[in-house]
Amino acid sequence: MVGASTDAPTGTPSKEGFTTLGTTAQTAPVPGSPFSEGVRFFTDDDFNGAARFAMSKATQGVMDFGMVLATLGRITDASPQSWLQEWVHTGQQLERQATTSSAAGHALSAGWFLLGAAECYSRALAFIAGMDDDSALLPTFQAHRRCWDAFLHHTRGQHLAVRVPYEDATLPGYLFRPDATGTARTTLVITNGSDGSLSGLWAEGIATGLARGWNVFVYDGPGQQSMLFEHGVPFRHDWEHVLTPVVDTLLEREDVDERRLVASGISQGGYWLPRALAFEHRFVAAAVDGGVWDVSRTWNANLPEPMLQLLAVGDRDTFDQYMASGPADPVQERTFRFRARPYGPFTSAFDLFTAVSRYRLDEVATSITTPMLVCDPDDEEFFPGQPQQLYDALTCEKELARFRREDGANHHCEPWARTLVGARMCDFFDRHLEQAPQRTVLQPAPGS
Overall size of the chain counted in residues: 448
Alpha-carbon span 257 to 288, nearest angstrom: 22
- What's the pLDDT at 330? 83
> 105-122: b or e for each residue (b if 16 or more CB lie within 10 Å)?
eeeebbbbbbbbbbbbbb
- What's the pLDDT at 28? 41
Say if residue 12's pLDDT is above 50: no
How buried is residue 37: exposed, middle or buried, by Cβ count under 10 Å (0-12/13-18/19+)? Answer: middle
Rg for the chain (alpha carbons), in Å? 22
The β-bridge partners of 377 are 403
> 294-314: b or e for each residue (b if 16 or more CB lie within 10 Å)?
bbbbbbbbbbeeebeebbeee
Alpha-carbon span 221 to 210, nearest angstrom: 22
Interacting residues of 149 by C-beta distance below 8 A, sequence separation 6+: 161
- What integer best gives the mean pLDDT of the chain? 90
- What's the pLDDT at 39? 76
Give 2's pLDDT tier (boundaries 50, 70, 90): very low
Say if residue 18's pLDDT is above 80: no
Amino acid in position 146: R
Alpha-carbon span 146 to 241, nearest angstrom: 28
Among the listed residues 258, 246, 310, the one whose alpha carbon sits nearest the alpha carbon of residue 284:
258
- What's the pLDDT at 441? 56
Least confident residue range of 23-27, 45-49, 205-209: 23-27
- What's the pLDDT at 37? 55
Give 333's pLDDT tier (boundaries 50, 70, 90): confident
Alpha-carbon span 423 to 173, nearest angstrom: 25
- What's the pLDDT at 440? 63
Give 396's pLDDT tier (boundaries 50, 70, 90): very high
Q: 70-88: per-residue pLDDT in tens?
A: 999 999 999 999 999 999 9
**What sign for the dihedral angle of Cα 102, 108, 110, 111?**
positive
As a CATH number, domain 158-295+359-434 is 3.40.50.1820
Say if residue 297's pLDDT is above 70: yes
Alpha-carbon span 383 to 403, nearest angstrom: 15
How buried is residue 153: exposed, middle or buried, by Cβ count under 10 Å (0-12/13-18/19+)? Answer: middle
Cα of first residue to Cα of last residue in the chain, in angstroms, is: 73
Give 331's pLDDT tier (boundaries 50, 70, 90): confident
What integer is the mean pLDDT of 409-438? 95
Largest CA-CA distance found in the chain, in angstroms, rounded: 84
Q: 338-371: per-residue pLDDT in tens?
A: 999 999 999 999 999 999 999 999 999 999 999 9
What integer is the mean pLDDT of 406-417? 95
Q: Which CATH superfamily is domain 42-156 in?
A: acylaminoacyl peptidase (1.20.1440.110)
Give 332's pLDDT tier (boundaries 50, 70, 90): confident
- What's the pLDDT at 315? 98
Give 33's pLDDT tier (boundaries 50, 70, 90): very low
- How far CA 334 is from CA of 10, 31, 211, 319, in Å, comes to 10, 37, 41, 20
- Every domain of the chain and the residues it spans: 42-156, 158-295+359-434, 299-356
Q: 206-249: per-residue pLDDT in tens?
A: 999 999 999 999 999 999 999 999 999 999 999 999 999 999 99
The SS3 call for residue 211 is: helix
What integer is the mean pLDDT of 391-417? 97
